[in-house]
Structure 1
Amino acid sequence: MSVLREFKEFAVKGNVVDLAIGIIIGAAFGKIVTSFVNDILMPPIGKLLGGFDFSNLFINLSDKSVTTLAEAKAAGIATINYGLFLNTLIDFTIVAAAVFILVRQINRLKKEPVAEAAAPTTKECPYCLNTIPLNSTRCGHCTSELK
């Protein structure tokens, strides 16, 4: 019975809930980035490079001739899909940059301002070496007159 209680306490702790929310938001963000790369970023790049589709770049590993990746998949032909890999690599780069910027901003907000050193309020008596207030004209310990 205590194991269930311990698990319940662990599961409802703020850090675990925050982690779960972060994973869900991260997965949704990954889908947005994938759509951005596949649907917005890569088509203009492909058009600039002569109208080619990066997602259709592949190496045919069989002796059958196919012109598109969809044909190869329909025929059950083994392929190396380096165009899809390039899209995934660009996805990763964008997500990594976004996470880096986010973490950098969070760390910047977490930094505590460095407190400036407070101006001294005491000094040492040159005669008896006891600590006395900074504006003293006479030492309270040895009664020496200070300059």
Structure 2
Amino acid sequence: MSFAQTAIENAPAKPGQSWASHYSHGRWAHESGMIHATMGDLAAAEEHLHLALDIHGLDRKRTRAIVLADLGHVQLKRGNTAQALATWNDFLHCAEGVQSVRINDGLTNIAARLPSFPNSPTTQELRQRITTRA
């Protein structure tokens, strides 16, 4: 946080030359959501991640998929297993055909959590889709 504060305090006065001027509103919402998650405010994290998905401009498949993976993790931490599984299913659909280290990290993280879930048709399908993708 102190690095961010220093960067903001030393930002150029002229608009458009900020260290963060390349961030879209959707990307800011995603980053804000992840900061809230790190700080333990999971309700705010989920709200910001939903906002990131709703904001126009977050239409790149890779970016959208990464937000969905993060949202699923927040939902799981909040105890909403069914919603996390549904969100991860959306993640897999969105990530189809996309090659990315961050997508692969999302797949690995989801796969690592699935063994702790009750064996249901939804969980089995998600496991199968992840296995097929890998």
| TM-score, normalised with respect to structure 1 | 0.19
If each structure's helix is expressed as a fraction of its own residues, which one has the higher value? Answer: 2
Higher relative contact order (CA 8 A, sep 6+): 2
- TM-score, normalised to structure 2, is 0.20
Greater C-alpha Rg: 1
